[in-house]
Homo-oligomer: A and B are copies of this chain.
Amino acid sequence: MRYLPHTDADVREMLAVVGQPDLGALFDSIPAQFRLTRPLDVPQAASEYEIQAELEALAAQNEHAGARAWFLGAGVHHHYVPSAVDALISRAEFYTSYTPYQPEISQGTLQAIFEWQTMLCGLTGLEVSNASLYDGASATAEAVLMALRVAKRRKVAISGALHPHYRGVLETYLAALDFELVTLPRGADGRTLASEIDGDTACVLVQQPNFFGCIEDLPVLAAAAHEHGALLIASVAEALSLALLAAPGSSGADLVCGEAQSFGVPMGFGGPHLGFLTSRMSHVRQLPGRLVGETLDADGQRGYVLTLSTREQHIRRERATSNICTNQGLCLMMATIFLALHGKTGLRALAERNLAKAEYAKARLRAAGLALPFAAPTFNEFVVQLREPAERALARARAQGVVAGLALTKFAPELGDALLVCVTETASRAQIDRLATLLAGERA
């Protein structure tokens, strides 16, 4: 077997050193009645060639953004990833290493995390970032748990325009705990209304832009939350918006969490992605996840280490701020490289391009006679109302090679036959024109 270096002679000689007659004897501590006496019922071993052929066949059965005009987002976004990202994360030193517990032999990973933390602070307008959480949904749940610890109250006010999957995960995470969850209603313009907040409220959680693509007015929500001593949590599912919209931290958010998949991580059927969480320095002891800090070595030279680990499970055990251990390190590396490549001007330009494409699409859809139900400004995603069952329109578009968006029928039935449409820099004008034609129901 190609992955196993042992020759029969090796095994024999090693057994002799160990003092065992055969390999089976190594397992004598396992009571005989529990020893498996039959081969596992999994397929026989395959060569690389066969594995590749099989998986290519399975891969070929999935629609993907490389081969379609793509307008489906809803928390997972199709952006172009420069080739340097994959080339660099394919360095074995990055992807075949472990969590940087031993800093002297892990400075590469550590410095990159420190750089990520710095950039994410700049983007979110806060002072400290952790070294990733699983995904946007669990990062949002962790943010709420953190807010509950910080505020020591038991009411959580959640925007009704939060991504339904984020809400689902949050409910799962909170199920065992003693808390009360209230939903903030959506205004006619698509934005969250700052009602239901009171002195019991630990935190107000809004998505920015929200699930329907609308840009929330964070200062208003922050004022409402802070008035009652609650924390404002901004959950960002499209991290690219951070390059264009006022930094949530500067708009009053106390915690910013979310999903940074847009920064160079492939959609990958939903994962692995990149959860993040930033806060003010004053709350750092309640932050979940790893942190990298700067220090000096024995010669007085600058270096980086994992730090403040007394928050973490391997030190604090049941009193830790979270149970997370393995995180999304390599996705963080992708995002760090993506951000370094784009930089200050490139990321802004990319975000502006997304805005321009989406605005063009909105104009085209309006011109095609379709209604856009929400008046609030949007970034690269918005809702459009159809004149026919959403599934029918989607199927027609798909038949023409266009993945037109997400039917909201299941998620927001009150909107009728509506689609959530995401338009990124990858959509050409011609594709957008085609989308408008297809959704208008005219012949393509």
A49 to B83: give the CA distance in the assembly, Å: 10
> Could you say which residues of chain B place their CB within 8 Å of the CB of A426?
49
> Could you say which residues of chain B place their CB within 8 Å of the CB of A425?
49
- Nearest CB to that of A80 among chain B residues? B49
A49, A91, A341, A426, most chain B CB atoms within 10 A: A49
- Nearest CB to that of A82 among chain B residues? B48
How far apart are A427's CB and chain B's nearest CB, in angstroms?
11
A419 to B264: give the CA distance in the assembly, Å: 49
Chain A residues 344-369 with CB under 8 Å of chain B are: none
Q: How many copies does the complex hold?
A: 2
A49 to B2: give the CA distance in the assembly, Å: 38
A82 to B49: give the CA distance in the assembly, Å: 8
Contact with B along A89-102 (1 / 0, CB 8 A): 01110000000000
A2 to B90: give the CA distance in the assembly, Å: 21
Query: Is A87 on the interface with B (CB-CB < 8 A)?
Result: yes
> Could you say which residues of chain B place their CB within 8 Å of the CB of A83?
48, 52
Chain A residues 57-109 with CB under 8 Å of chain B are: 80, 82-83, 87, 90-92
Question: When the two chains form their complex, are residues B80 and A48 in contact, meaning their CB atoms are under 8 A apart?
Answer: yes
Chain A residues 208-233 with CB under 8 Å of chain B are: none
A87 to B341: give the CA distance in the assembly, Å: 23
How far apart are A376's CB and chain B's nearest CB, in angstroms?
30
How far apart are A45's CB and chain B's nearest CB, in angstroms?
15
- Nearest CB to that of A346 among chain B residues? B2
How far apart are A50's CB and chain B's nearest CB, in angstroms?
10
> Could you say which residues of chain B place their CB within 8 Å of the CB of A82?
48
A87 to B87: give the CA distance in the assembly, Å: 10
> Could you say which residues of chain B place their CB within 8 Å of the CB of A87?
90, 92
A80 to B48: give the CA distance in the assembly, Å: 9
A80 to B80: give the CA distance in the assembly, Å: 30
> Could you say which residues of chain B place their CB within 8 Å of the CB of A80?
48-49, 52
> Could you say which residues of chain B place their CB within 8 Å of the CB of A48?
80, 82-83
- Nearest CB to that of A86 among chain B residues? B90
- Nearest CB to that of A87 among chain B residues? B90
A443 to B91: give the CA distance in the assembly, Å: 50
Contact with B along A132-149 (1 / 0, CB 8 A): 000000000000000000
List 11 extra interface pairs beyond A49-B425, A52-B80, CB under 8 A: A2-B341, A48-B80, A48-B82, A48-B83, A49-B80, A49-B426, A52-B83, A87-B90, A87-B92, A90-B90, A91-B91
Question: What 9 pairs between A and B have smallest CB-CB spacing?
Answer: A49-B80, A48-B82, A48-B83, A90-B90, A49-B426, A48-B80, A87-B90, A49-B425, A2-B341
Offer 13 A-B interface pairs, CB within 8 angstroms, sorted by A: A2-B341, A48-B80, A48-B82, A48-B83, A49-B80, A49-B425, A49-B426, A52-B80, A52-B83, A87-B90, A87-B92, A90-B90, A91-B91
